[in-house]
Structure 1
Amino acid sequence: MTESPVETTLNEERFNKLTSIESQQYVIDKEPFRMLKINDASILNTIEGREICGQCFKSRKFFCYTCCKPVIDCKYFPRVKLPIKIDVIKHAREIDGKSTAIHAAILAPEDVTVYIYPDFPKFSSNDKVVLIFPSKNSVTIGEFLSLELQKNRNSNEHDMTFIKNNEFSITRAVFIDSTWNQTKSIYKDQRLKNLPCIVLKSRISQFWRHQKKSPRWYLATIEAIHQFLLELHDCIYGTVKNYALNETNIISTKLYCGQYDNLLYLFKYMYDKIHLIYDHNKLWAYKRPLI
């Protein structure tokens, strides 16, 4: 969408009044997915009409957000392989059609399962499970991995071999998919009580749905899943700098170079559709405070 001269002038004036953090985000918001490797989703534009879900028999576009199943050929979706299993516990009152957690189940079906609370994942005795939740006792991924290293007396805190040979020291990660108020009720469930909590680094959301009284660093569930996997991989193997701007061969390196970016394939597609219709600067979701 091309800006008019008047809109350009107004945007420049707005930019000059921003703080340094706001000005940096203003630039990022111009092309928020530029530094990620996400497949072109324009092929989805060739799909006409809707399809009937073979499981619930309801009319759906692209995928069924109730059954977490595609309703079109899987060739239209990239398949993402994750290093660990992801369990999403969705509040029963969370509207299916608004949940981005479904994107993960569609794009990484072998590794992502969505449960409707009070349904709950079953963990084996060998599972190393973490809960992604900013509790008062939560730690960063780096801190968690360091603690795991310290538990092994035969390794030092600078040697990552122990972690690499133990499947990232995490086999499953649990996410709660709900509003913030709903999240608290699920978090108090005794089945989550003893799980170590991980807090993610601050990241500004690009989600277009407005949530009252929430800053922009409250991420959509699919953004949080992507951020967690990116941080986990980076802590262990590192990341190729500006990987989206060069032709890094994913197969030939263990460094992070976009292996999980396609988790945002549907998110970006919908973001682009929304921004064809609405002006980014006029959407309430992007007027929320950054901090």
Structure 2
Amino acid sequence: MAESTVQHSTDKLLELKEKQKIIDENPFCNLKINDTRELKLVESRRKCDLCQKSRKFFCYTCYQPVLSCRYYPRVKLPIKIDIIKHPREIPGKSTAIHAAIIAPADVKIYIYPDFPEIPNKEETVLVFPSKDNAKNISVKDLFVRKEGKNDALGEKTETVWPIKRAIFIDSTWHQTKSIYKDQRLRELRCVILKSRISQFWRHQKDSPRWYLATIESIHQFLVELHTCALGVDEDYGETIKKYLDLNDIIKNTCYTDSTHQYSVINGEELMQRYNGQYDNLLYFFKYMFEHIHSIYNHNELKAYKRPLI
């Protein structure tokens, strides 16, 4: 029996590797991301208006673009995103800045020990795995209605979104302990994301490929949040299932035209079923991925030799 189980696991792993090999050839092909060739037209560097340092696309210390907005997309998010950067995280290597440039109205970056205000812990989550597995919840768990004051009064919840803010830690996995231990985060619910294979080109020692870059984590979280709240567009469903591994969300959640337990449909694009609304968060990430792969062979980069599981 033991040998059979081992063989079964080995076959599954080989199957997973073969599937991922195909995805790695063009991982963004089915996502709705603007044509990144616009960025290839940018040849000269410009000075940041704030620090006067020479930058090409954006200033990664001031979190400001140095390009005209015609060169990159803007995205509106359904909730606020706070990113806490470790002070030793090298600014030029972080992907957190991508979110701040593309969604400036909804994303703010803090350098630890600077910290975002958390006025309401019930409406805020930390997207980070707790050491205590019992405290970890999925995005889908956020939509489990708890009996409370509003229910007793028979009032309807005013939004499809069960939270208003999500906090991310931007650092290497080895640097996260000092931030995660901060008392200001201890009372927050810890959300873990569904398995997703990273396309980040920077190698982190002793980390599997499902350790995501910050911008990948933000994108994954928002897609899961939106999909749980409003469902996924029928034409986009196969893309979501293949790329983001959301099969059980799509399969096990009933999406109808009736009002969701958190729903008051009063918007346009943000209130529609998921159809790529946040894919452009990966715009700079996609460009840099393609640039790196134009210089280096994918199979020779250490980051892609990490274990998948």
TM class by smaller structure: 0.7 to 0.9
The alpha-carbon distance between structure 1 residues 191 and 103, as it changes in their structure 2 partners (threshold 3 A), is same
Distance 1:35 1:234 in 2: 17
Q: What letter is aligned with 1:38?
A: I
The alpha-carbon deviation at position 175 of structure 1 amounts to: 0.1
Q: For 1:106, which of 101, 106, 109 is the aligned residue?
A: 101
- Per the alignment, in what secondary structure is the counterpart of residue 281 of structure 1? helix
The alpha-carbon distance between structure 1 residues 49 and 251, as it changes in their structure 2 partners (threshold 3 A), is same
Residues 39-79 of structure 1: CA deviation (Å, up to 9, x unaligned): 00111111112111110111111100000000111221101
- Per the alignment, in what secondary structure is the counterpart of residue 27 of structure 2? coil
Q: For 2:197, which of 204, 221, 226 is the aligned residue?
A: 204
How do 1:272-287 residues align onto structure 2 when only pairs under 5 Å count? 272-287=290-305
Asked if the contact 1:53/1:71 (under 8 Å) is kept, the reply is: yes
Asked if the contact 1:37/1:244 (under 8 Å) is kept, the reply is: no
The alpha-carbon distance between structure 1 residues 162 and 205, as it changes in their structure 2 partners (threshold 3 A), is farther
Q: Give the structure 1 partner of residue 127 of structure 2.
A: 132
The alpha-carbon distance between structure 1 residues 200 and 116, as it changes in their structure 2 partners (threshold 3 A), is same
Structure 1 unaligned residues grouped into runs of 5+? 1-15, 156-160
Distance 1:23 1:253 in 2: 36
- Number of matched pairs: 266
Normalised TM-score (structure 2): 0.81
Distance 2:117 2:123 in 1: 12
Q: What letter is aligned with 1:227?
A: Q
Distance 1:261 1:73 in 2: 21
- Per the alignment, in what secondary structure is the counterpart of residue 181 of structure 1? coil
Distance 1:120 1:253 in 2: 30
Asked if the contact 1:101/1:221 (under 8 Å) is kept, the reply is: yes
Asked if the contact 2:142/2:162 (under 8 Å) is kept, the reply is: no
Distance 2:156 2:232 in 1: 19
Distance 2:156 2:168 in 1: 26
Residues 95-125 of structure 1: CA deviation (Å, up to 9, x unaligned): 0000000000000000000000000001224
Q: Give the structure 1 partner of residue 179 of structure 2.
A: 186
Q: What letter is aligned with 2:196?
A: R
How do 1:1-291 residues align onto structure 2 when only pairs under 5 Å count? 19-125=14-120, 128-135=123-130, 136=132, 137-146=135-144, 149-152=145-148, 165-243=158-236, 251=269, 254-291=272-309
Asked if the contact 1:84/1:173 (under 8 Å) is kept, the reply is: yes
Q: Give the structure 2 partner of residue 4 of structure 1.
A: none
Distance 1:109 1:90 in 2: 17
Asked if the contact 2:230/2:271 (under 8 Å) is kept, the reply is: no
Name segments (4+ residues, structure 1) moved above 6 Å: none
- Per the alignment, in what secondary structure is the counterpart of residue 92 of structure 1? coil
- Per the alignment, in what secondary structure is the counterpart of residue 204 of structure 1? coil
The alpha-carbon distance between structure 1 residues 126 and 278, as it changes in their structure 2 partners (threshold 3 A), is closer
Normalised TM-score (structure 1): 0.86
Structure 2 unaligned residues grouped into runs of 5+? 1-10, 240-267
Kindly, what percent of the aligned residue pairs are identical? 59
The farther-off stretch of 94-103 and 234-243 is 234-243
- Per the alignment, in what secondary structure is the counterpart of residue 151 of structure 1? coil
Distance 1:67 1:86 in 2: 17
**Alpha-carbon RMSD:** 2.4
Asked if the contact 1:90/1:114 (under 8 Å) is kept, the reply is: yes
The alpha-carbon distance between structure 1 residues 276 and 244, as it changes in their structure 2 partners (threshold 3 A), is farther
- Per the alignment, in what secondary structure is the counterpart of residue 197 of structure 1? strand
The alpha-carbon distance between structure 1 residues 180 and 143, as it changes in their structure 2 partners (threshold 3 A), is same
Q: What letter is aligned with 1:140?
A: S
